[in-house]
Structure 1
Amino acid sequence: MVVLNKIYTKTGDDGETALGDGSRVAKHGMRVTAYGTVDEANATVGMARLHASGEMDARLAAIQNDLFDLGADLCRPDLHKDADAEYPPLRMIESQIKRLESEIDAMNSGLEPLRSFILPGGSALSAHLHLCRTVTRRAERETVELATMESVNPWAVKYLNRLSDWFFVAARAANDSGKADVLWVPGANR
């Protein structure tokens, strides 16, 4: 269990932060950037949940928990040392991706076919889900970049990729099963 009695520690005042293994790195480092953007994505999900209810809200709550798992995964470098860790590191696993895929398939089965690219908007929930999608795509790009420099759990990258797809389909579902999607009209304002 996590206990936070004191919120400020002053240990980051020099521009460094601690990773999950206790090592200290620059706050502008790629690993911190990647899990920081995952945290940002989680905040956008919290905003979307203000407009969600029922099953959609429950799914978004599960995603928020997954995003904390993902942040814990990304803040723990060097996958090769997992077996030697005092506490087993929390890592993303295949079943989390499979759950997203199942939910995408279920939502997509009730949608109108796409005939055009769509613009973020329509309902408030849909607009917020599109924001979730774009922040998640940025987190994915940053995590992929991190993976070119250091070891990253491949399930973490796959989760982000699938999650952005989930948000796209959920945004369409939130627009009356795609009937209220805002369609892009190429060159409409020329």
Structure 2
Amino acid sequence: MQDDCSRSNGGEKVSVFKFSKKGDGGETSLLTGERVSKASLRPETYGTLDEASSALGLAKAATHNETIRQMITTIQQDLMILGAELASEGSNPGYSVDADLITRLEEWIERLQEEVAIPRSFILPGDNPVSAALDLARTIVRRAERRAAAMRDAGLLDHAEVHAYLNRAADLLFTLARYAAKND
């Protein structure tokens, strides 16, 4: 490791992430610059979205199905938008979940349900690594949905599309996991 916190990449110097230590006291910065406890509802909720995106990354890395890969990538991008919206307290209009994103999820659910039967009973996840990772992501999205509801109840979130998006995303991930069990 080089002392100047950079390394060579084929002759090109690449910067290495440097730690700031600003979060060592249990606080984090929102996109607005406000410092809040890492245990508060806002970072808890967007952190849960990050966790869901990572679980989706497991499924994406394991799948050989391009339909699944494309849907996962789009959902991960949506979750980043949603996380940015939560981290900016809705003050940045460039970061917003809207009705079009929800409609897209509904269309995908309908399309997938034409190809796979959806069980009317509880399922045991784990038909294959992809479907298992999608089911894991689904449960994490459901937790994010509960955290967003807690934000709403605390007066921290007044954007109905956030709740609808998370609800629909979890429904899609359930359906996509059944599709992956059959098609991956």
Normalising by structure 1, report the TM-score: 0.82
- The alignment-based identity, stated in percent, is 37
Which amino acid in 2 is paired with 1:66?
A: D
Q: Matches of 2:94 and 2:141 in 1, distance apart? A: 23
1:147 matched to 2:152: yes
Tell me how large the CA RMSD over aligned residues is. 1.8
Identify the residue that residue 176 of structure 1 maps to in structure 2. 182
Which amino acid in 1 is paired with 2:22?
A: T
> Following TM superposition, by how much is the alpha carbon of 1:89 offset from its aligned partner in structure 2, in angstroms?
4.1
> Following TM superposition, by how much is the alpha carbon of 1:109 offset from its aligned partner in structure 2, in angstroms?
1.2
Gaps of 5+ in 2: 1-14
Query: Residues 118 and 178 of structure 2 are in contact (CA less than 8 Å); yes or no, is this contact kept in structure 1?
Result: no
1:48 matched to 2:59: yes
- 1:140-171 residue CA offsets vs partner (Å, 9 max, x unmatched): 10111111111342211111110100010011
Q: Matches of 2:128 and 2:16 in 1, distance apart? A: 40
Q: Matches of 2:59 and 2:149 in 1, distance apart? A: 25
Identify the residue that residue 172 of structure 2 maps to in structure 1. 166
Gaps of 5+ in 1: 178-190
> Following TM superposition, by how much is the alpha carbon of 1:39 offset from its aligned partner in structure 2, in angstroms?
0.4
Shift in alpha-carbon separation, 1:113–1:166, aligned structure 2, 3 A: closer
Identify the residue that residue 186 of structure 1 maps to in structure 2. none
Runs of 4+ more than 6 Å apart: none
- 1:1-39 residue CA offsets vs partner (Å, 9 max, x unmatched): xxx974411222222111111111111101110000000
Identify the residue that residue 111 of structure 1 maps to in structure 2. 116
How many corresponding residue pairs?
A: 167
Query: Residues 135 and 173 of structure 2 are in contact (CA less than 8 Å); yes or no, is this contact kept in structure 1?
Result: yes
Describe the SS at the equivalent of 2:28: strand
Describe the SS at the equivalent of 2:182: coil
Normalising by structure 2, report the TM-score: 0.84
